[in-house]
Structure 1
Amino acid sequence: MAEVTIFHNPACGTSRNTLALLRHAGLEPRVVEYLKTPPSREELKQLLAEMGMTVRQLLREKGTPYGELGLADAKWSDEQLLDFMQQHPILMERPVVRTALGTKVCRPCEEVLELLPVGPIAPFTKQDGSVVQDPGQRRG
């Protein structure tokens, strides 16, 4: 089976739930704590291509320096936005999960279900007590 990777921020509840859901499914992903080990510029471009997203779509506003850096202004090119993401990895939306079935931002954590190479899985209880049911629908 191809490797499963999660670009993870342990301070983020959604990221923690997504990692726990992957493990609940019997997978042990490669965990990239992207704040400590940010993806390279080329890796960011590859992730964006795999997800079919623009750089701006991968930018996170909440809890980041997005506002103080003036990133809402349309004057910034994709290359400049990538520069900001390299300087401030917290600007990358999380968690991003890559499996053999695709790559996507998994917000909410249930989004990871369509990327699981296994399944269906048993119900999963998130940190807030809500239960995730796996409908068994996968990409591919």
Structure 2
Amino acid sequence: MTTVFHNPRCSKSRAAVELLISRGIEFDVVEYLETPPSAKELGKIVKMLNIDPAQLVRTGEKLFKEMNLGDRELSDAQWIAILASNPTLIERPIVVYDGKAAVGRPLENIVEILDQ
């Protein structure tokens, strides 16, 4: 099953959806701001991405600054909890495809997992 964690207001996210459509790939859309992934789901996504949870954080968001997250040392579990509670901070779009995941910044990251 293919899933896109999507924000329809984001051009990169819309481009990811268009890419999957153009390739004829069926997928589920999760508008993650409306239906945030759980901490458990985020943990799985981070493992598929092969990154630290902190690398999934949108550091340019106003909320990131308001929460003083740049000045704090947090564990992986703490980052995941913060992302689950504050989905605006989750980098987008995320495509999960065939047991792999990619953040679509740049879009070529998604192409790479589709072509493997």
What TM-score results when the alignment is normalised by the length of structure 2? 0.91
CA distance in 1, matches of 2:62, 2:31: 16
Matched positions, count: 116
Shift of 1:41: 0.6
Distance 1:64 1:104, change over 3 A: farther
Identity value in percent? 38
CA distance in 2, matches of 1:52, 1:102: 9
SS of equivalent to 1:26:
coil
- The letter of the residue matching 1:89 is P
| Unpaired segments ≥5 residues, structure 1 | 117-137
CA distance in 1, matches of 2:107, 2:15: 6
- Kindly indicate whether the alpha-carbon contact (under 8 Å) linking 1:101 and 1:115 is maintained by their aligned counterparts in 2: no
The one of 49, 52, 60 equivalent to 1:51 is 49
- Kindly indicate whether the alpha-carbon contact (under 8 Å) linking 1:18 and 1:110 is maintained by their aligned counterparts in 2: no
What TM-score results when the alignment is normalised by the length of structure 1? 0.76
- Kindly indicate whether the alpha-carbon contact (under 8 Å) linking 1:10 and 1:16 is maintained by their aligned counterparts in 2: yes
> If you compute each CA radius of gyration, which structure gives the higher value, 1 or 2?
1
Q: Which has the higher contact order (CA 8 A, sep 6+)?
A: 2
| Unpaired segments ≥5 residues, structure 2 | none
Q: Which residue of 2 aligns with 1:19?
A: 17
Shift of 1:102: 1.7
Q: Which residue of 1 aligns with 2:33?
A: 35
CA distance in 2, matches of 1:114, 1:26: 16
